[in-house]
Amino acid sequence: MAYFDNAATTYPKPECVYSFMDEFYRSNGGSSGRGNYQLASAAKTLIDDTRNRVSKILRCPTKQVIFVPSATIALNIIIQGVIKKGAKNIYISPFEHNAVTRVLYNFEKSNKIKVFELHVSENLEYDLERIRYQFDSCSPDFVIVSHVSNVIGLIAPIEDIFSLAKKYGAVTLADMAQSAGLVDTNVGLELFDFAVFAGHKTLLGPTGISGFVMKSDISIPSVFFGGTGYDSANQDMPKSLPEKFEFGTLNVLGIAGLNAALKWIEEQTVANLYLKEKINRKRLISLIEKYEKLSIVGNEGKEKYVGITSCVIDGISSDSAAEIFSSRGIAVRTGLHCAPRAHMFLGTYPAGTIRFSVNCFNTEEDFVKLEEVLDLIESQI
Amino acid sequence: MAYFDNAATTYPKPECVYSFMDEFYRSNGGSSGRGNYQLASAAKTLIDDTRNRVSKILRCPTKQVIFVPSATIALNIIIQGVIKKGAKNIYISPFEHNAVTRVLYNFEKSNKIKVFELHVSENLEYDLERIRYQFDSCSPDFVIVSHVSNVIGLIAPIEDIFSLAKKYGAVTLADMAQSAGLVDTNVGLELFDFAVFAGHKTLLGPTGISGFVMKSDISIPSVFFGGTGYDSANQDMPKSLPEKFEFGTLNVLGIAGLNAALKWIEEQTVANLYLKEKINRKRLISLIEKYEKLSIVGNEGKEKYVGITSCVIDGISSDSAAEIFSSRGIAVRTGLHCAPRAHMFLGTYPAGTIRFSVNCFNTEEDFVKLEEVLDLIESQI
């Protein structure tokens, strides 16, 4: 199996992720990090250490790290909370995932909010001048940007957009599901109010653990409720962070895996992993460009890209292509990638694209296999 | 470490849980169960098999099994959904966890709902005759019962309560966090609309995976929104189950662990595991009863109990006791156990209790250690 579906979940994980999870959960899995016996304090130490490592990688030691089970849950907590607090005019990038747009749509359809798309030019550059006009004509309350598009890998100039948004007093949210731990970013800057990370994607951890960082002095109401092992007599959620948003038993197993992954990334360095992915991306693009029938969607303009590349193949539907790839041992993802609005923007809606996503772990062998299958597909059309 | 905190999370897990998780995630962890390449279909097969095993253990093959990361999230989905659909008069047992009562309180404080407590007599028996009077005086829209109290282990006569509730047309929800896979229950009966399970407690799986079963013909609006890898162009959540409530990437690692745990429970049988826990409970209670200064809270009436037992120690606060236990290698949990209303009902609020919770894995050695520490505590008071 040649794995080109790292945008869905990265695979494999660093060896230490598997081994440390197994070891930690066997010897310390008797605790949810609450209680004060030895196992519980081992879990607490692990959780605190993992929080610190997230802060370090995102360069935001002054911000609060909150663990939740998935990036989708993090986005629900933040977006529903900011809207409940009163945000009406909400700007999003054209590349948002359903984890953002479906949350918004629920409020949009009852006219509680207005959603606008940030202006991106035809050659896929964020047009800050026009975005300023947009903000002038309707002042933003809340600006949400997918830092890296999960369809085409485009990296948004997030600092520039958020700097502008801050001039209008907007709350800002970076969806870093496809960038945390890969695209070096100073989330410690004042202009980031919220940033969401997905443990099992670019952070190379397991499924079941994700989270967000937020400014400690910003406050949003809770939209989900539950036990926190803290301030239990209070029937409101506690006001303190991270407890307010860490309802239910923390996933200690997942946190152990994420901890090992973060350590590994620190050792390798974010810059190095990005470089390796860039090399693999270059390889992938050179390969795809060999074939006349394959066209890359995106990959234009002056913005940068990570190792996620979408294609269409002339004369063959994504679904038929998917079958050929999967039957020949190539893992790719086809269709809309849970981001229909991105495909509308790119002109690939409703059929979608074939998405190849590489990271630092792709090997020479993967590319040889991919080339064989692409040869076959081209010869069959 | 003698582990008496199984009500928080069971520990250890059956050996197969650790080994199968590691094995499956190493060889198949490259998928979230979406996509159609080989790894993805291996994950899909695992997920389907796990759904079947949950159905089998809860005896509800006709109901839909939905996986979410935690019982708290399941309870938010169901309770907020049923209230959003119009439920006003909500009855709960006196033993509900904050995962239920904090969700309700958020609606109660803005007068959107009324919350009533089901009548339980002083000797801890559900008084069905008086509950009928309660229902007559204010008809129930929604009845929520903690099948097993996480504070004192009391098993509620859930079929009787729900049968009565159904006569009034109420929606029913069983919180089975402390009973699924332990207290044999026919959740397939018409009278169960919703039942929540926690993967890492009585089901002996890892943290990060839980869920609920629901009647397929009942419908509640969504409160969480996100990608489902299905019907992606639709900006509403899909109507189909389980997709409607399985937003975000499924925790394949957790599902692998739960799968192994369910297989193990099937092999051992629910009845046998319950019997082993009953034996350990008996041991625990005989031991506690030896000490004059220790009083068990609950353990009365004709209802049955699982291996969760709460105590108070004369002349020593729960917190001081907790320190002695933890420093001597005994894992217990003290305080309110995220269930302040249960302690109010039991007369142990706000100090709470010392909770010992055993399961099938407690050993002779655990009890010897516990006895030593209890001797020491009694001698020191």
Three-state secondary structure readout of B265-292: HHHHCHHHHHHHHHHHHHHHHHHHHCCC
Q: Which of B26, B36, B340 sits opposite A326 (nearest CB)?
A: B36
Q: Which two tokens stand for residue B314?
A: 């004369």
Q: Could you give the CA distance from residue A56 to residue A185 in angstroms, rounded to a whole number?
A: 11
Which pairing describes strands B353-357 and B333-335: parallel, antiparallel, or unpaired?
antiparallel
Chain B contact for A291, CB < 8 A? no
Whether A257 and chain B come into contact, CB under 8 Å, resolves to: yes
Phi first, then psi: what are they for B52, rounded to 5°? -60, -40
pLDDT per position as a tens digit, B62-99: 999 999 999 999 999 999 999 999 999 999 999 999 99
Name A162's Cβ contacts closer than 8 Å, sequence gap at least 6: A143, A145, A172, A174, A191, A192
**Paired tokens of A320:** 């038929």
What is the rounded average pLDDT of the residues A345-372?
A: 96
- When pLDDT is averaged across residues A281-299 and rounded to a whole number, the result is 95
What is the bridge-based pairing of β-strands A308-313 and A353-357?
Answer: antiparallel
Q: Which residues of chain B have pLDDT under 50?
A: none
Question: If you average pLDDT over every residue of chain A, what do you get?
Answer: 95
> What CA–CA distance (Å, rounded) separates A75 from A211?
9
A340 close to B233: Cβ distance less than 8 angstroms: yes
Last residue of a domain, one of A239, A268, A297: A268
Q: Summarize chain B as % helix, strand, coil (round to 5).
A: 40, 15, 45
Instruction: Identify the helix (H) or strand (E) that includes residue B146.
Output: strand B142-146
User: Which of A5, A98, A361 should we substitute to test contact with B (largest number of B Cβ atoms within 10 Å)?
Assistant: A98
Contacts of B91 (CB under 8 A, 6+ apart): B115, B116, B117, B118, B134, B135, B140, B142, B143, B144, B165, B170
Cβ–Cβ of B12/A29 closer than 8 Å? Answer: yes
pLDDT at A243 over 70: yes
Find chain A residues with C-beta within 8 A of B206's C-beta.
25, 29, 253
Confidence tier at A259 by pLDDT (50, 70, 90): very high
Does residue A322 share a domain with residue A275?
yes
* Coil, strand or helix at B61: coil
Residues in B closer than 8 angstroms to A227, CB to CB, are 72, 97-99, 102, 338
pLDDT band at A301 (very low <50, low <70, confident <90, very high): confident
Rounded Cα distance between A360 and A341, Å, is 29
What is the average pLDDT across A256-278? 98
* Residue B355: CATH number of its domain: 3.90.1150.10
pLDDT at B288: 96
The rounded distance, in Å, linking the Cα atoms of A263 and A107 is 40
Contact call for residues A262 and A53 (beta carbons, < 8 A):
yes
User: Structurally, how many domains does chain A consist of?
Assistant: 2
Mean pLDDT of A242-270: 97
Rounded CA-CA distance A149/A156 in Å is: 8
Structural domain including A229 reads 15-268
Q: Can you give the pLDDT at residue B118? A: 98
Phi first, then psi: give them for residue B125, nearest 5 degrees: -110, 135
The reply to whether B232 and B314 lie within a common domain is no
**What CA–CA distances, in Å, run from B64 to A300, B61, B210, B217, B218?**
46, 8, 14, 10, 10
- The complex's ipTM? 0.96
What CA–CA distance (Å, rounded) separates B260 from B257?
A: 5
- When pLDDT is cut at 50, 70 and 90, the band that residue A380 belongs to is confident
- Identify the residue among B224, B320, B327, B341 best suited for mutation to test binding to A, counting A beta carbons within 10 A and taking the highest: B224
Cα(B354)–Cα(A355) distance, rounded to whole angstroms?
55
Residues B331, A38: C-beta atoms closer than 8 Å: yes
Are residues A301 and A356 located together in one domain of the fold?
yes
Give me the pLDDT at residue B320, please.
86
B101-131 burial: b if 16+ Cβ within 10 Å, else e: bbbbbbbeeeeebebbebbbeeebebeeeeb
Whether A158 and A32 have beta carbons less than 8 Å apart is answered as no
Same domain, A230 and A372: no
- pLDDT tens string A135-179: 999 999 999 999 999 999 999 999 999 999 999 999 999 999 999
How confident is the model at residue B33, as a pLDDT?
A: 60
Residue with the two structure tokens 């006009």: A133
The helix, strand and coil proportions of chain A, stated in percent and rounded to the nearest 5, come to 40, 15, 45
CATH assignment at residue B145? 3.40.640.10
| Helix/strand/coil for B26 | helix
Joined tokens for residue B133: 């009077």
pTM of the model: 0.97
CA angle A37, A40, A46 (to 5 degrees): 140
Residues B242 and B337 in one domain: no
> Rounded to whole angstroms, what are the CA distances from A36 to A165, A200, A365, B5, B331?
44, 29, 50, 11, 8
User: How large a percentage of chain A has pLDDT more than 70?
Assistant: 99
In chain A, residues 138-177 whose CB comes closer than 8 Å to chain B: none
Query: Which amino acid makes up residue B9?
Result: T
Q: Which amino acid is at A217?
A: D
From B55, B133, B150, B47, select the one nearest B97 (Cα to Cα): B150
Token reading at A4: 């080109």
How far, in Å, are A327, B77, B227, B247 from residue A72 at the CA level? 31, 14, 8, 7
Residue at a domain's end among B268, B299, B315: B268
> Residues of A with CB below 8 A from B251's CB?
69-70, 207-208, 254
Question: Do B213 and B350 have their domain in common?
Answer: no
Whether A37 has a pLDDT exceeding 90, the answer reads no
Q: Which of A180, A262, A266, A250 has its CA nearest to residue A208?
A: A250
Interface of B with A in 182-221 (CB under 8 A): 198, 200, 206-209
Sign of CA dihedral B126, B127, B132, B135: negative
**B132 and B245 assigned to the same domain:** yes
Q: What is the CB neighbour count within 10 angstroms for residue B316?
A: 18
pLDDT over 70 (residue A48) = yes
Q: Are residues B275 and B262 in the same domain?
A: no
Q: Burial level of B24, CB count in 10 A (0-12/13-18/19+)?
A: buried
Interchain pair B249, A37: CB under 8 A: no
Residue A379's φ and ψ, nearest 5 degrees, are: -70, -25
Tell me: do B250 and B374 sit in the same domain.
no
Neighbours of A351 (CB within 10 A): 13
Residues B73 and B163 placed together within one structural domain of the fold = yes
Dist. CA B138–CA B136, nearest whole Å: 6
Q: Is the peptide bond before B221 cis (omega within 30 degrees of 0)?
A: no
A-contacting residues in B 1-60 (Cβ below 8 Å): 1, 3, 5, 8-9, 11-13, 18, 21-22, 25-26, 29-32, 34-40
DSSP letter assigned to residue B66: E
Q: Which residues of B touch A258 (CB under 8 A)?
A: none
Contacts of B249 in chain A (CB under 8 A): 8-9, 70, 72, 198, 200, 207
pLDDT of residue A33: 60
Last residue of a domain, one of B268, B292, B310: B268
* B176 and B196 belong to one structural domain: yes
Per-residue pLDDT at A356: 97
Please report the pLDDT score of residue B300 as a whole number.
84
| Residue type for position B8 | A
The answer on A279 and A229 residing in a single domain is: no
Q: DSSP secondary structure string, A326-359?
A: HHTTEE-EEE-TT-HHHHHHHT-TTT-EEEEE--
Residue B276 to residues B266, B268, B362: CA-CA distances in angstroms? 15, 11, 9
* Ranges of H-type helices in A58-157: 71-84, 98-108, 128-137
Q: Which two structure tokens, joined as six digits, stand for B163? A: 């049968």
pLDDT recorded at residue A38: 75
